[in-house]
Structure 1
């Protein structure tokens, strides 16, 4: 199964507490990091793939070392395809590649500098960190992160970040920090179309 997430911002202490940008109601980054890992591993099993759409951790300001990021990521279930965000950097990707914990003898981590595309239920998922303006499209969604607790007012743009306001439209109550399933992405797209039509 495929899952989708963005903007985990491991170690980012400035996001802690109530704020308009990315409210994270934790008393420490250690508590936040543990919550992200627990939410991920509660949904993702060893055979799943998670597309992480950028901003793994707040680097380099808040992170002691690349090894500290690796230690968190190595605890996460499944394989992870990383799309580079504005807070990710090449030396971190190189470190993760050279210290890949492996998955059944294959790489656990893969890397995309700008984005990647998959197809799900006759719909293209164009996955990027930054939201794209696609123009008129059919059966195409742009899954993105970057804007945290904000929403692009275009139905085809789905914010899959952990702080995304669209998550409130899900019929299932999932823990904060959970990666989204493809079915949940389709549900959000339908709810967003309805919301914008009635606005």
Structure 2
């Protein structure tokens, strides 16, 4: 038997109970045979693979890059050719990006279905399936379902042959094995963490939105159709992540237009903003700082726009923007990645943070995780790898390879 895998979002709370009742009611009214329904939104699958360990690693790796993933469930529709009646799911840009990144990561070694590759992907939660066209349309017309559910994705589920293999918990920020997934205590921790985050003031940091700058799309290969699409997406990403009372450290280059434009964009953005001046910022409404030093969770951070402006005497961490990681100079790209543990720098230009503000607590957690990894690597092994890479680079330049 070939194993079958599926990645999905399982519904919680009222959406789960009311959708399950709708499925039961529909099956009774139309004599549709069903097993115990689990209301969900399929993201990828079913599919097969010969590398389950890699699948789990990639599932976790992609999921760790996302925090605030929202969607709305509203309305009834059908896939007439497939004989499916479903609740329509309106995805946020983050959910669209998350599903696409999962698909792109897996398609090299997993046998994905054709509809996994179709764009735009049609997000939905199935109510009834295996119907003929007329029956599907009849059920659609008869269902009286005017509910609307706005949700944040708490967990993503990886199934194997219909059973939970593992889940990624976006509130607890970790993978769960099957035992933890089924634990009511762990689920309670998830809900408590989510509720605590919604109540507490969060600290965010970001840089280099370049609102209104059409050419930045080309220069930095940003994934937007045009400047209007970019402006809408960046403002949406900011306001869907940051609440009005959250703290935001912005590290420069908000817009690239007339001087007065900075103030008009600031009025559109949530949060209590501290503004570090970039190359293109002027404002009559907010103080523009040259730099700032803050402490957070035991770390001292020097906040600046341009990392080359940090005093040589500074021995703490630096968080900066300015370097969009699009340089043709390999040395610059290597020197200013998202996190450079050796140099103690963090680059929060939006190209490196999925075009949204980052929680400072998330950055610190990632820094600590990298520190633990680096401790496990033997120095001589690291040196050997570096020397090999240098040798290959030199050889390729000399066209010896």
Give the TM-score normalised by structure 1.
Answer: 0.71
Greater fraction strand? 2
- The offset of 1:49, in angstroms, is 1.4
- The offset of 1:70, in angstroms, is 2.5
**Partner secondary structure for residue 40 of structure 1:** helix
Greater RCO structure (CA 8 Å; 6+ sep):
1
Change (3 A) 1:110 1:47: farther
Per the alignment, residue 319 of structure 2 pairs with: 143
- The offset of 1:111, in angstroms, is 2.4
Structure 1 unaligned segments of length 5 or more: list them: 98-108, 168-175
Aligned match for 2:273, one of 80, 95, 107: 80
- The offset of 1:35, in angstroms, is 0.6
Greater fraction helix? 2
Q: Do residues 126 (structure 1) and 302 (structure 2) align?
A: yes
Q: After TM superposition, list the pairs within 5 Å mapping 1:1-199 onto structure 2.
A: 1-17=202-218, 22-58=220-256, 63=257, 65-88=258-281, 92-93=282-283, 95=284, 97=285, 109-112=286-289, 114-131=290-307, 132=310, 137=315, 140-149=316-325, 150-152=333-335, 154-155=340-341, 156-164=344-352, 167=353, 176-190=354-368, 194=373
Deviations 1:63-97 (A, max 9, x none): 2x444433322111111111111222xxx22x3x2
Question: 1:12 touches 1:57 (CA, 8 Å); kept in 2?
Answer: yes
Change (3 A) 1:136 1:10: closer
Q: Distance in 1 between matches of 2:302 and 2:277?
A: 14
Give the TM-score normalised by structure 2.
Answer: 0.37
Q: Distance in 1 between matches of 2:238 and 2:311?
A: 29
Change (3 A) 1:192 1:54: farther
- The offset of 1:3, in angstroms, is 0.7
Question: 1:158 touches 1:189 (CA, 8 Å); kept in 2?
Answer: no
After superposing on structure 2, the runs of 4+ consecutive aligned residues of structure 1 that deviate more than 2 Å are: 65-72, 132-137, 150-154, 187-195
- The offset of 1:191, in angstroms, is 5.6
Question: 1:80 touches 1:110 (CA, 8 Å); kept in 2?
Answer: no
Structure 2 unaligned segments of length 5 or more: list them: 1-201, 326-332, 387-401
Report the RMSD for the aligned CA atoms in angstroms.
Answer: 2.5
Question: 1:44 touches 1:77 (CA, 8 Å); kept in 2?
Answer: yes
